Structure 1
Amino acid sequence: MLHLSARMPERGLDVRLHVERGETVAILGPNGAGKSTLLGVLAGLVRPETGRAALAGRALFRLGSESADDQHGHASREFAAPGGSRTGRPQDTWLPPHARGVALLAQDALLFPHLSSAANVAFGPRSAGATRREAQARALHWLGEVDATDLAARRPARLSGGQAQRVAVARALAAEPQLLLLDEPLAALDVAAAPVLRRMLRRVLADQTVLIVTHDVLDALTLADRVVVMHEGRIIEQGPTRDVLERPRTRFTADLAALNLITGTNTHAGVVMDADATVILPCPSGAPADMPAGSRVGVAVRPANVLVSLTEPRGPNLTVLPALVRDLEPRGDVVRVRSDGLFADLTPRVIADLDLGPGIRAYFSFAAVDAVTYPL
């Protein structure tokens, strides 16, 4: 469905991505990772130095060395479709944004202030040549799909943030894009509106091809079939959503998923940690076929399953790691206690009873049953 490779050395972007028809892919990563730049490239708003992209067999762009390869017959078939404008180097092809079949929805709804909600939604079909009656019918259909029929006559000034975003989603879908790009669509909403819109998106996006940029792991778990993790302009990890977020391969992804990640080597006695050769997690089932002795493994532990004490705990199948408390971070009903190794979520009462603070030496521990071990 979508094939993309793009390089922008000045922004540090170097990505290759494939998305199947009807698939929703969440793109996670910190600010500056290149997520929004990637969407801009696909929407035709940002031009990479080199690369190529095809959507449903039609070339969106072929630039630089990639298009030179095309001229000499080395391009793969999915990038060979003609069309678009040629600018810059003679062999370059660049399809303009309006001709791509791609819709981009940002966290700001950007509705036309002088038009009603229905007219905003009808704008895309009208621009594509639909009659006024056809565009109106399509607008009312999609307003109904996003539970916003009662907002049809309202102008944006009379809409709440959540209502405006519903109308913006309807407007994007009414254009019948082959690819829908969502850039932090829930980020500007309050805590009451976000869950409602998230449920709506899950329903209306079920049969669409979607890339959604988000900082929220809950968005990925709720909406996405697959997750792509970006860092410094590159994809560092990707795969089925739960596999990536529950069994991270990198420390960076573990931090995104709020998991402790320990890497090491599997042995018959347990996992030998990379950090200090400590042996942890005796495996009750021995060495499974996909994790033979000597293989690289990851161990993921939820912070709620990590205990902190001032005296060394003892027990069978218990991993104990002494460490200095680095900082305390309030997070709603719990406090995240961080060390250079593990972090734990404790209640304020436990923090007070232990008199924990930065610089205190403590023991961080977890049971084997509370950890997940998997091959890297």
Structure 2
Amino acid sequence: MSAAQGLRAHVVVPREHFVVDVALQVAAGETVAIMGPSGAGKSTVMQALAGIVGMTAGEIEIDGRVVDRIAAPRVRTEPARRGIVLLGQNPRLFPHLTVRENVAFGPRAGGVAAAIARSNADEWLDRVGLPGAGGRMPHELSGGEGQRVAVARALAAAPRAVLLDEPLVALDPDTAGEIRRMLREQLQGTTTVAVTHDAGDAVALAERLIVVERGRVRQHGQVREVLAAPASAFVASIAGLNRVEGVSGDGGWRWGDLRLTSTDTASRALAEKDGVALAAVFRPQDVQIVGDGESDAGAWPARIARLEPTLAGMRVHTESCRVEVSLSEAAGLLVGDPVLLRVDPADVRFVPLA
């Protein structure tokens, strides 16, 4: 790796059933999100970057300085000396220190005078929305307040990079929203890698998204672009989309009895050649149940496999796709019922299979 600002890494760590082998590059001041199924290796990547987990191959470079390299000449920098801070679900505040002393701990350990470190700590507490909280003890804080203090403590140490490993997952929705807004404001200009299971977090915090499945990068790119063109069933699920794999044919797309066309220019170009492997992508709420087995041009037959209540109504699962309907539309539907489904070509996109 050549010297550059930001974070560059190639992480290789064996797991029980697969090897985590992920390369990533984060520009100085950029935030990159990592998403993937449970057990895909996301946290392993973060722990390797922080120096908590050892690698068997690869290299980690931060702001032009190699902090970990397996090949000769071997480099192994201790976690505390990497300039990389890892924040997880647990704030891990020192229980015997006040909030102010927790935030001042890093600068003081780095040689900053106590009075200056404490004054800076109070400034950071103001910035994260906890003015005047310096004298409180960690056990007096709510979960959201603890995470705010953890962010202040991390940033007060002036790290080269911040790693966020699902810090919002244990918080209630309102608190998580407040912390998300605070993170977006306070991490401006800080090189950041954020692991999350929530597409909303990725959109709110990050410029780019990396999807990891079974230890490998499955898809990467601008956050909204990745979510709009899912390369796997997992990405489609977090984006709230149907994704059905089929082939182009007759100027459209087909999978079994399902035939779809699209008015999207790029999608139509992909479907021009017959036999090209494509995925059809469309939203569950754009699918209509138009009949119970009677003929209806442009619709395809399906059978209800599962009914799942949602806040807005009912999610109807079929062998081909999911359908979102209101409670009134769901009235009378039963598992096993045959139905006819239709989606407007304007709501369909085709994407090539990776």
Shared fold, TM over 0.5: yes
Which residue is 1:349 aligned to?
328
Amino acid aligned to 2:15? E
Which residue is 2:8 aligned to?
3
Distance in 2, matches of 1:365 and 1:40, equals 46
Amino acid aligned to 2:36? G
Which residue is 1:94 aligned to?
76
Amino acid aligned to 1:53? I
TM (norm. structure 1) is 0.85
Which residue is 1:233 aligned to?
215
Correspondence 1:20 to 2:27:
yes
- CA contact 2:252–2:272 (8 Å) conserved in 1: no
Which residue, 296, 303, 327 being the options, matches 2:284? Answer: 303
Which residue is 2:174 aligned to?
192
Distance in 2, matches of 1:367 and 1:305, equals 7
How far the C-alpha of 1:19 sits from its partner, in A, is 1.3
- CA contact 2:264–2:348 (8 Å) conserved in 1: no
Cα offsets for 1:103-139 (capped at 9, x unmatched): 0111111111122211111111111111112211221
Amino acid aligned to 1:128? G
| 1:177 alignment partner, SS class | coil
Which residue is 1:372 aligned to?
349
- CA contact 2:302–2:340 (8 Å) conserved in 1: yes
Which residue, 249, 255, 260 being the options, matches 2:231? Answer: 249
- What is the alpha-carbon root mean square deviation over aligned residues? 2.1
How far the C-alpha of 1:290 sits from its partner, in A, is 6.9
How far the C-alpha of 1:9 sits from its partner, in A, is 2.6
| 1:21 alignment partner, SS class | coil
In the TM superposition, 1:353-364 aligns within 5 A as 355-364=332-341
How far the C-alpha of 1:182 sits from its partner, in A, is 0.6
- CA contact 2:94–2:102 (8 Å) conserved in 1: yes
Compared with structure 1, are the counterparts of its residues 279 and 160 closer, same or farther at alpha carbon in structure 2 (3 Å cutoff)?
same
Amino acid aligned to 1:153? G
Which residue, 158, 173, 195 being the options, matches 1:176? Answer: 158
In the TM superposition, 1:139-178 aligns within 5 A as 139-178=121-160
Distance in 2, matches of 1:118 and 1:214, equals 28
| 1:36 alignment partner, SS class | helix
Which residue is 1:39 aligned to?
46
Amino acid aligned to 2:48? V
Cα offsets for 1:328-375 (capped at 9, x unmatched): 2222222211112110111222212xx223222212221112223445
- CA contact 2:262–2:347 (8 Å) conserved in 1: no
Compared with structure 1, are the counterparts of its residues 351 and 125 closer, same or farther at alpha carbon in structure 2 (3 Å cutoff)?
same
Distance in 2, matches of 1:286 and 1:223, equals 29
In the TM superposition, 1:101-120 aligns within 5 A as 101-120=83-102
How far the C-alpha of 1:233 sits from its partner, in A, is 1.1
Amino acid aligned to 2:187? L
Distance in 2, matches of 1:125 and 1:99, equals 13
| 1:236 alignment partner, SS class | strand
- CA contact 1:270–1:283 (8 Å) conserved in 2: no
Compared with structure 1, are the counterparts of its residues 210 and 4 closer, same or farther at alpha carbon in structure 2 (3 Å cutoff)?
same
- CA contact 1:291–1:375 (8 Å) conserved in 2: no
- Greater CA drift, 238-247 or 325-334: 325-334
Distance in 2, matches of 1:10 and 1:195, equals 34
How far the C-alpha of 1:60 sits from its partner, in A, is 1.5
Compared with structure 1, are the counterparts of its residues 103 and 282 closer, same or farther at alpha carbon in structure 2 (3 Å cutoff)?
closer
In the TM superposition, 1:312-323 aligns within 5 A as 312=294, 314=296, 318=298, 320-323=299-302
| 2:170 alignment partner, SS class | coil
Compared with structure 1, are the counterparts of its residues 313 and 230 closer, same or farther at alpha carbon in structure 2 (3 Å cutoff)?
farther
The unaligned stretches of length 5 or more in structure 2 are: 1-5
The unaligned stretches of length 5 or more in structure 1 are: 69-90
Report the count of equivalent residues: 344
Which residue, 273, 281, 286 being the options, matches 2:261? Answer: 281
In percent, how many aligned pairs have the same letter?
A: 38
Which residue is 2:3 aligned to?
none
Compared with structure 1, are the counterparts of its residues 46 and 284 closer, same or farther at alpha carbon in structure 2 (3 Å cutoff)?
closer
Cα offsets for 1:248-268 (capped at 9, x unmatched): 12222112212011344445x
How far the C-alpha of 1:291 sits from its partner, in A, is 6.5
Correspondence 1:219 to 2:201:
yes
- CA contact 2:316–2:325 (8 Å) conserved in 1: yes
TM (norm. structure 2) is 0.90
Correspondence 1:131 to 2:113:
yes
Distance in 2, matches of 1:208 and 1:246, equals 27
Which residue is 1:331 aligned to?
310
